[in-house]
Amino acid sequence: MARKTREDALKTRDALLHAAEWLFQEKGVSHTSLDDIARAAGCTRGAVYWHFRNKVDLFSALVDRVQLPLFDQAEQVATRCADPIGALHHFCINAVRDIEENPQSRNLLDILFNRCEFVAELAEVERRQRERTRFFIDRHTAAFRRGHALGLIHADLDPATCARMLHSMILGMVRTWLMEPAAFPLTQEATEALNQLLRGFGYPPPTAP
């Protein structure tokens, strides 16, 4: 019986996250209440509070579900790959492909970029997103720094500047694509843009299989 209870609890939590994802995208985060989410999930308000302290906690769980798996990958690229630039290339393309092909990832970014006002209620979410942006730029900087030491990019390049250029380019392409997904194939164009950027840095991008 205890196992069934745990399974039911997980199903309820998933239902709440699914409902929140849909409502946040439809109505925006600020205009969605916990009552709205509970009704959409077929749950009581008490069930929401069983799993989440408040709307910010629920929203944070929604973000974590997509973003947390990327942390270990970014750390491995920065510190443990023999070719850190090639590994960074694959990391970025795989992340972009996931956004294009995985509705959960795409919806989350659409919510963060287009359906979320970082007002007082969501100050904690904004703080965490700033920290995560700094983390990824820092890890990309570490990858470029190792690549620089290995002679994989031009000697006169600043690794931190390379990391910010990479981050800004990928983020800009994703935000543009989210505005009109039918306008261009995201993974294909992001791959070409990344290849051109890395060529400018002196690194020959991997040959497609």
- Does 185 lie in the same domain as 117? yes
Confidence of residue 2 (pLDDT cuts 50, 70, 90): very low
Tell whether 104 is covered by a domain: yes
CA 172 to each of CA 7, 108, 164, 177, 190: distance values in angstroms, whole numbers, following the listed order: 40, 16, 12, 9, 10
Long-range Cβ contact pairs of 153-159 (< 8 A, separation 24 or more): 153/85, 153/201, 153/202, 153/203, 154/201, 154/202, 157/201, 157/202
Tell whether 57 is covered by a domain: no
CA 4 to each of CA 1, 12, 49: distance values in angstroms, whole numbers, following the listed order: 5, 12, 20
Tell whether 96 is covered by a domain: yes
- Does 95 lie in the same domain as 180? yes
pLDDT for 137-187, tens place per residue? 999 999 999 999 999 999 999 999 999 999 999 999 999 999 999 999 999
Domain residues for 10?
1-52
Amino acid sitting at position 167: H
Print the SS3 string covering 88-129. HHHHHHHHHHHHHHCHHHHHHHHHHHHCCCCCHHHHHHHHHH
Tokens of 14: 């998933």
pLDDT for 7-44, tens place per residue? 888 899 999 999 999 999 999 998 999 999 999 999 99
Percent of the chain whose predicted confidence (pLDDT) is above 70: 96
* CATH assignment of the domain containing 10: 1.10.10.60
- Does 85 lie in the same domain as 38? no
- For the chain, how many structural domains are there in total? 2
- Does 179 lie in the same domain as 77? yes
Tell whether 208 is covered by a domain: no
* CATH assignment of the domain containing 171: 1.10.357.10
- Does 10 lie in the same domain as 68? no
- When pLDDT is averaged across residues 131-136 and rounded to a whole number, the result is 95
Confidence of residue 202 (pLDDT cuts 50, 70, 90): very high
User: How far is it, in rounded angstroms, from Cα 129 to Cα 92?
Assistant: 18
Q: Is the separation of the CB atoms in 54 and 125 below 8 Å? A: no
Q: State yes or no: pLDDT of 1 exceeds 60.
A: no
- Does 192 lie in the same domain as 163? yes
Tell whether 206 is covered by a domain: no
